[in-house]
Structure 1
């Protein structure tokens, strides 16, 4: 057998694809670059919570008396609700970009490449977390600048921020699911719009007992109320009590259900 024949008959090495961590790193970087290039969306993600905090504190803070402490007490009361409200708007961007990846055929193109396609969704989740973390840091900075003070320990502040980030992750996964099942980016944005109203019908901006009786039941038992109450308690150096575990259960429950549905829908959606 000649040398040429030996070379031709030798088996070629099997092509190796990118692993899960490599795919996650690549698509997280892709999503972050795309996010930071969209200057308007990034600016809104940062400025919206600041404007909400200033409006509720200086426009409504004098009218809504929480514990007789005036505007400063209301600022401490409303801070977690502002952060979580803005996080919802920031996470809704995930539904749009995931829907764009599905409807433009990007997901299907990945089937011909050595990448785990699911890392695209995880990359969008990482990008959303980074955007919202920046917005949260800006809100806290402006809040301290306009008078927010706390007696909370470092551990309590970290616990409050950690719970906020856990909710951001949960709602990001939900929006990613909406983007996956929606028929267009516009409809994906519309489906999630109802979720953005949850903080307003909770204990976020006014005590539940001040609401009409027919609304109090929903406001007291919807997921945003324990998340906000626990975050507020920790942020102000108080004991979160059972609200903390109820909030964590809501977050983990949402993520478990959303991930399970995505595991069922994603292969079929990509294969279309």
Structure 2
């Protein structure tokens, strides 16, 4: 069992850190809002620290799951940052979905200090984190990944090294691009079914076992048909992720026309007050257009 720190106790990090503790690891936590770290300790044990540096001192692995590029920089190299507390040879594992640019920047800063770095964004949402069933896509040196993978296994149903540092984040971009296009198609299909007077549940029951089937179809069609979006992965976070995808696409010369279009549809959802709605709320936008 390993000595670990977990930085960031949001809807994903809180249960992920809990799975580390349940697996028998020695876990220290940090959260920007200290009361949440205290709540975690009350529920799971371990201890909380006031800064990332304090949490990272003397541990073998530091896991992070924060909000964006700036948040990652702050906990890594900001005042009281984790890199100042980590020992040489320790491994930093970043589960945040961030840009490949900041990943390379933080990996270089870690390397200068003798710290190993694995970028390891996750897919599976809050439910996956709570159930320990996340999919983790990793980038980093093989030896660093091999050390981290058994620890990541506490909250993952699948974990795979995709290449060198940054490959995990690029794979996550592919994941988000595919989800965005798929959800728009599902929203349009269900909207057509409703307008045609079909039983939406019956339609999904017929088609989900064929070529159109997907995780989103199986797990989101009921709430989409009910107009219930107060759950799941927030539109605000999806737009953050899609901005990363579009920037990387431009840098690589990879055209992403559907992604750019769906990103603007999500902007419309935000204007409707749906920034915290689940990404399946693309259907609510179509409903509003149909009512005009």
**Normalising by the residue count of structure 1, what TM-score does the alignment of the two structures yield?**
0.29
Bigger strand share: 2
Bigger helix share: 1
**Structure with greater Cα Rg:** 1
**Normalising by the residue count of structure 2, what TM-score does the alignment of the two structures yield?**
0.28
